[in-house]
Each structure stands twice: as C-alpha cells, then as structure tokens.
Amino acid sequence: MRRPLKKKRTWRPDLKYGSETLTRFINAVMWDGKKDTARAVVYGAFDILKKDGAEPMETFEAAIRNVSPLMEVRSRRVGGANYQVPREVPQQHRLALAFRWIIGAARSKKGKPMAEKLANEILLASKNEGEAIKKKDEMHRMAEANKAFAHFAW
C-alpha cells in the first residue's frame, strides 16, 4: 500500500523583501530557534551586497539557481550489490540542498562575521564560483560517472 502524500507547506513571505524563498533561507540559517538572529545575519548579508552595488534579491536568486543540482545519486541495492543510481532532484530538495551548501560554505570560513561570509558566498555562487558550486559540480560528476546504472532507477 502506498504511503499518503504529504501536504505541501506554505511559507509566509519575509518582512523586508516579500519572498517565500528568502523566508525558507532564513529558517535554514537559524540555529536553536533564534530567528531574529538569523534574520539579522541574512539582512546584514543583503545590506553588504547592496553596498557592493549588487541588487540583493537578484543576486540571491541567481546564486540559488546556480547552486541547485539537477541530478543526484541514490544508493540502490540490486542482487546483493549496491549501485549509485543517478536521479533527477525534485524541486523542493533542490532548494534545500542549495541552501545547505551555501550556508555550510559560509560557516566553514573563519575570521569574519557571519553576514560578511554569507554575502561573499552568495556573491561567489551568483558568479558560478565558490565552495557551493564545487559541491554541485561534484554531485553532477558522480551522476555522470554512474549513468550506466540509470536503468536501475525506480
């Protein structure tokens, strides 16, 4: 029997830019339920982008678009062997991975405030550079290398 479909979650647009995607990004940045701190970090990063002469929302959307992976590999057991089977990434998971990679790349840097590190990573991702883009390229390389096992997809 199939499991019931999950209800699609709706998100309130964020206060400053009116974007549901930005609300989800702020929630991804948040630690220990400290949403005001997360908002301050993200809006601070956007202020830094604005000072550098970039349009913050356009830069953010371009970064998310560039970092979002199209293909991923999932492990599949067939006849006693595990195969890495390439699959297309669903839209919601694509967004979640992009957020995770951008935030992870920003957190891994040392010596600057989080807002600066996040602004830098968003700017790099919008130019198709940086750690988050390397992660995406690595995932695409894995999917390409395991293309022979695509017929195992379920």
Q: Give me the residue spans of the domains in the chain.
A: 20-152
Name the least confident of 63-67, 126-130, 133-137, 147-151: 147-151
Both tokens of 78, joined, read: 């067939």
Does 84 score more than 70 pLDDT?
yes
Does domain 20-152 correspond to CATH entry 1.10.455.10?
yes
Q: What is the pLDDT of residue 144?
A: 82
Indicate the pLDDT class of residue 154, thresholds 50, 70 and 90.
low
Q: What is the number of alpha carbons within 13 Å of residue 110 lying toward its C-beta?
A: 0
Above pLDDT 90, what percent of the chain? 64
Closest to 143 in 3D by CA, of 74, 67, 75, 86: 86
Please give the Cα distance from 99 to 28 (Å, whole number).
7
More confident residue, 49 or 140: 49
Band (pLDDT 50/70/90 cuts) for residue 75 is confident
Nearest to 116 by CA among 29, 37, 44, 10: 44
Amino acid identity for residue 76 in this structure: R
How far apart (Å, rounded) are the C-alpha atoms in residues 44 and 51?
A: 11
